[in-house]
Structure 1
Amino acid sequence: MASTNQFLGFRNESPVTGKGKVNMAKKLHMVAGTWGVRCTFHSLVGLLVATLVVAAVYMTGEGGRWLEDRKSICQNGGESSCSGCNLFSGKWVFDNRSHPLYKEKQCTFMSDQLACEKFGRQDLSYQNWRWQPHQCDLPRFNATALLERLRGKRLVFVGDSLNRGQWVSMVCLVDSSIPPNLKSMHTNGSLTTFKATEYNATIEFYWAPMLVESNSDDPVMHRLPERVVRVQAIEKHARHWTDADILVFNTYLWWRRSKMKVLWGSFESPDGIYKDVEMVRVYEMALKTWSDWLEVHVNRSKTQLFFVSMSPTHQRAEEWGAAEGQNCYSETELISQEGYWGNGSCLKMMGVVDDTIDRLKKRGVNVKVLNITQLSEYRKEGHPSIYRKQWEPLTEDQLSDPKSYADCIHWCLPGVPDVWNELLYAYILHY
């Protein structure tokens, strides 16, 4: 069997209980003004207005109307015992009995980008945290039940490396339930397919970091000095997902720059028109193309649609009260400050997604939001940091300053993305 990384194409309560509580003053950073690498809120209004804004943001978990009304998903998969449960509002509970849901070394298709234990991490407590909604329990993940639901179907994750990490997590969650001779992994360009033969079911990942076409569409060679997008072109990608039964989209990290070069025309044509467009406008243009495609092509009686909200980064330790100039490197504790909101998560972009999905709903297309941002904000210790395969040789300067090459964007597995998939599982089986 080929190596996993060949297949993957890699180059109202404290949110924390159990151990690791830290007392911090409550704060919340919101978006105002221009969008760049970071989105920041500076309060210039009176105390009453500020208080109302913060209260509204905390009550919804992430601000604005980001949390839509949902059916109850209650204990043991039932929908009758806890009306109005919000799965995204809760706390992290240390639980080394039921978590992790699988062992890193036992996952056949684990990625070296996410295998923190393999690459030397000693503190493994990041594997033992369970997400506990305030008003109900998440249904226990049952791999066999999910595979039965997926029998004869395609579950496709579409997006960037964070969505790829969620896909790897999902593969690991079902891996041990399938005999070795009844599962396989295959890569064809941007599409990687895990197949459970007995169920005729596939769990797939398609690399499209911007959803629309871009010069970063190569699944391996995509780190380029200048990013160019064709905001009105999506069919090259979308033809690979057209007949999927469950689609899970994300796109955020690759848009994090003040401006993006937009191309009208093709990459091959010398007559193309290029223009620099500011964020968040270019993001809005791309999501409109995506939503228009869904409206026309999705079989509304067959296909379940999900959009995963932005995955937070932990690049600036001063945001959670640690030393300035530090990041997630050497962090081993969760953030216990309820409602904590880092500057890397932009409410303006969340608003664009919110408005896009609202408009789709009015047109009869239902996209459910997996609102993972707030719950993931607390997990500053859950990133690979330096404990991952380094695709490029480290310089002497980097070796002398480990935080300079720490990965504070992706997530260790087992870990945070498993909870994202527990939420997805709840919706697929019990919504």
Structure 2
Amino acid sequence: MATQRLFFTQEYNTTVEFFWSPFLVESNSDNPWRHSIKDRIIKPESIKNNGDDWKGVDYLIFNTYIWWMNSGYMKVLRGSFDAEPVEYDEIERPIAYGRVVKRWAKWVDENVDSKFTSVYFMSMSPTHIKSSDWNNPDGILCANETLPMTNLSIPPPYIGTDYRALQMVADVIQSMKVPVNFINITAMSEYRKDAHTSVYTTRQGQLIIKEQQADPATYADCIHWCLPGLPDTWNELLYTQIISHS
């Protein structure tokens, strides 16, 4: 599978590569250009197709979350994606997520030499879909929000975050042979209902037009974030971790 983005800076002799693998393991959404698939299916034990591209680098930075949040269940492949028809089982999302994280951890332990490669795992990026979560029952998703939350009146996992997944990653990392730096961006991001792209965004590669912006219930994006914006703070945290371990 081809990488989606590759950036090289000659001044620092550094290559930054973004690899599209939304579930870390093999799935039917692995094509970086054609991945808008309604029925997402994963193959939890298969990581080789992706993992071969992760070897031999100085820094590996992982995350997987938002693509899991379509429903409370995940479709898990029984046989092959080439079979007709494709057969799968539906299992509870936390169970499927746990299987994938454990498979990822096994791959890291078997393929990463910590003398040469540092591994990082970024925690989940929350969503802000329900304005009632921040005591604004008349709001429409995150549209027209201009200030962060000052308090979280709804306990987790209701502010767009499934804390079971966060805890699962933290527990698995603790049991690994290869050290993994877990960077928790979740708590700080939950307050930032104002930081999403909202109606100032694209859909299927096309800019949202004025008529669509007037319909935030349909077009507001409360999953992705403005750039520059909150993700710059995540990068500062990552940069600090990398420098502190250099």
Give the structure-1-normalised TM-score.
0.53
Counterpart AA for 2:28: N
Q: Name which of 217, 220, 229 aligns with 2:42.
A: 229
CA distance in 2, matches of 1:262, 1:389: 31
1:344 has 2:157 as partner: no
Instruction: Point out where structure 1 has 5 or more consecutive residues left out of the alignment.
Output: 1-187
CA distance in 2, matches of 1:192, 1:394: 24
1:313 matched residue in structure 2: 127
How do residues 156-305 of structure 1 correspond to structure 2 at under 5 angstroms? Answer: 189-256=2-69, 257-270=71-84, 273-305=87-119
Mean alpha-carbon deviation: is it higher for 395-404 or for 212-221?
395-404
CA distance in 1, matches of 2:55, 2:22: 18
Change (3 A) 1:379 1:393: closer
CA distance in 2, matches of 1:320, 1:345: 14
Q: Name which of 234, 237, 242 aligns with 1:420.
A: 234
How do residues 39-50 of structure 1 correspond to structure 2 at under 5 angstroms? Answer: none
Instruction: Point out where structure 2 has 5 or more consecutive residues left out of the alignment.
Output: none
2:172 matched residue in structure 1: 356
2:244 matched residue in structure 1: 430
Deviations 1:50-70 (A, max 9, x none): xxxxxxxxxxxxxxxxxxxxx
Asked if the contact 1:318–1:326 (Cα under 8 Å) also holds between the matched residues in 2, the reply is no
Displacement of 1:324 in angstroms is 4.1
Asked if the contact 1:316–1:324 (Cα under 8 Å) also holds between the matched residues in 2, the reply is no
CA distance in 1, matches of 2:4, 2:213: 35
Change (3 A) 1:420 1:399: closer
Partner SS state of residue 313, structure 1: coil
Counterpart AA for 2:31: D
Alignment length (residue pairs): 241
Asked if the contact 1:308–1:371 (Cα under 8 Å) also holds between the matched residues in 2, the reply is yes
1:18 matched residue in structure 2: none
Partner SS state of residue 199, structure 1: coil
1:384 matched residue in structure 2: 197
Counterpart AA for 1:370: I
CA distance in 2, matches of 1:399, 1:426: 38
Displacement of 1:223 in angstroms is 1.0
Counterpart AA for 1:199: Y
1:368 has 2:181 as partner: yes
CA distance in 2, matches of 1:258, 1:399: 30
Counterpart AA for 1:378: Y
Partner SS state of residue 198, structure 1: coil
Displacement of 1:385 in angstroms is 0.4
CA distance in 2, matches of 1:415, 1:393: 19
Counterpart AA for 1:350: L
CA distance in 2, matches of 1:412, 1:400: 19
Structure number with higher strand proportion: 2
Asked if the contact 1:265–1:271 (Cα under 8 Å) also holds between the matched residues in 2, the reply is no
Deviations 1:2-55 (A, max 9, x none): xxxxxxxxxxxxxxxxxxxxxxxxxxxxxxxxxxxxxxxxxxxxxxxxxxxxxx
Displacement of 1:354 in angstroms is 1.5
CA distance in 2, matches of 1:400, 1:198: 45
Counterpart AA for 2:162: C
Asked if the contact 1:260–1:277 (Cα under 8 Å) also holds between the matched residues in 2, the reply is yes
Give the structure-2-normalised TM-score.
0.90
CA distance in 2, matches of 1:271, 1:385: 38
Change (3 A) 1:339 1:198: farther
Runs of 4+ in 1 over 4 A off after TM superposition: 270-273, 338-342, 392-400
Larger radius of gyration between Structure 1 and Structure 2:
1
Displacement of 1:404 in angstroms is 2.1
Partner SS state of residue 207, structure 1: coil
CA distance in 1, matches of 2:15, 2:207: 35
Asked if the contact 1:339–1:374 (Cα under 8 Å) also holds between the matched residues in 2, the reply is no
